[in-house]
Chains A and B, each alone.
Chain A
Amino acid sequence: MSDLLETQSERLLEAVRGLLAQKGIASPSEISERIAITDRASPGQGARMVAKAWTDPAYRALMLADGAKAAEAIGIPMRGMPPLGVLENTPELHNLVVCTLCSCYPRAVLGYPPFWYKSAAYRARAVRDPRTMLAEEWQTVIPAEVKLRVVDSTADYRWMVLPLRPAGTDGWSEDRLAAIVREGDMIGVTIPTV
């Protein structure tokens, strides 16, 4: 075992790739395709979904019913990805996503998680004292009359938040709307503003 741990990571990766191909589990082209998809995923993808949901009621309905289908409908590859659930913020309800067990994150539509998402501090505070955490760390104050719902992503689904469309954006195009949607808005730590 110590030999394995001391092996240079590049050599180890080559050996594993070779075995995967030899055993017919994953070909080099399948691995390259997956790396390219992973690298392309970014919060911009989720922002496009949000902007479309804000302007197209039919798309909004599809997104809330089946996030993965809604992602595929605008060209985001979801093959082999976990199911995607979409949590709708309303004037009465604010959603916040955390994975207290590890780091489950909707990577297909938001890309790599921000560094703090996997921190023990975020994972503990998001369930234990979410309102104080949001106010202290993000200056996001959830009004007392709005219900806060913390969604602990523990198993086979991945979750993203559909934030409220901010006031003052009437008549904006999808592209202009997508540009104001940030990563944190789709986790629930921030709220889109103009």
Chain B
Amino acid sequence: MTLAPGSAVRVRLDWPETRGPVHIRTPWYLRGARGTVVRHLGDFPNPEDLAFARPAERRALYHVLFDQDAIWREDHPGDELLVELYEHWLEPA
């Protein structure tokens, strides 16, 4: 999967931490949130496997932009959150 800049995505609404020991780089506050891909940052060994010394496949890492107000209701429309997320946490929106 390669996501082009501008692609609309949704962060998977999933909570692997409820199923056993995990190491996750996807902040909980973004689970289920809708965002927009800014760019592909590169491919990196999956930290979810690296943390447990398992063989780690390289996964695409994206910079994804979110509307700050939709997530935290800061009451300042236009503010943004920019976060690095791995491809297996993103689905088309």
Q: Which residues of A contact B (CB under 8 A)?
A: 83, 85, 100-101, 127-131, 144, 147-157
Total interface residues on B, using CB and 8 Å? 22
Q: Which residues of B contact A (CB under 8 A)?
A: 25-27, 29, 41-42, 44, 47, 61, 68, 72, 74, 76, 78-86
Of chain B, the residue at the smallest CB distance from A102 is B25
One of B72, B78, B80, B82 near A128 (C-beta < 8 A): B72
Q: How far is the CA of A147 from the CA of B26 in the complex (A)?
A: 24
**A147, B79: Cβ atoms closer than 8 Å:** yes
Interface CB pairs A-B, < 8 A, 20: A83-B42, A100-B27, A101-B25, A127-B27, A127-B29, A127-B72, A127-B81, A128-B72, A131-B74, A131-B79, A147-B80, A149-B79, A149-B81, A149-B82, A151-B81, A153-B84, A154-B84, A155-B47, A156-B41, A156-B42
Interface centre among A127, A130, A153 (most CB of B within 10 A): A127
Which residues from B are CB-within-8-Å of A148? 68, 76, 79-80
**B81, A152: Cβ atoms closer than 8 Å:** yes
Sample of 11 more A-B contacts, CB < 8 Å, known A101-B27, A131-B79: A83-B42, A147-B80, A148-B68, A149-B82, A150-B80, A151-B81, A152-B27, A154-B84, A155-B25, A156-B41, A156-B42
**B82, A147: Cβ atoms closer than 8 Å:** no
Of chain A, the residue at the smallest CB distance from B77 is A147
Which residues from B are CB-within-8-Å of A155? 25, 44, 47, 61, 84-86
Which residues from B are CB-within-8-Å of A128? 72, 74
**B74, A130: Cβ atoms closer than 8 Å:** yes
Q: How far is the CA of A51 from the CA of B60 in the complex (A)?
A: 33
Q: How far is the CA of A149 from the CA of B64 in the complex (A)?
A: 12
Which residues from B are CB-within-8-Å of A144? 76
Which residues from A are CB-within-8-Å of B68? 130, 148, 150
One of B26, B72, B84 near A156 (C-beta < 8 A): B84
Which residues from A are CB-within-8-Å of B78? 147
Q: How far is the CA of A74 from the CA of B41 in the complex (A)?
A: 24
Interface centre among B29, B42, B61, B76 (most CB of A within 10 A): B76
Of chain A, the residue at the smallest CB distance from B74 is A129
Q: How far is the CA of A46 from the CA of B41 in the complex (A)?
A: 22
* Chain B proximity of A85: nearest CB distance (Å): 8
Of chain A, the residue at the smallest CB distance from B65 is A149
Q: How far is the CA of A101 from the CA of B83 in the complex (A)?
A: 11
Of chain B, the residue at the smallest CB distance from A128 is B72
Q: How far is the CA of A149 from the CA of B44 in the complex (A)?
A: 25
Which residues from B are CB-within-8-Å of A85? 41
Of chain B, the residue at the smallest CB distance from A95 is B82
Q: How far is the CA of A148 from the CA of B79 in the complex (A)?
A: 5
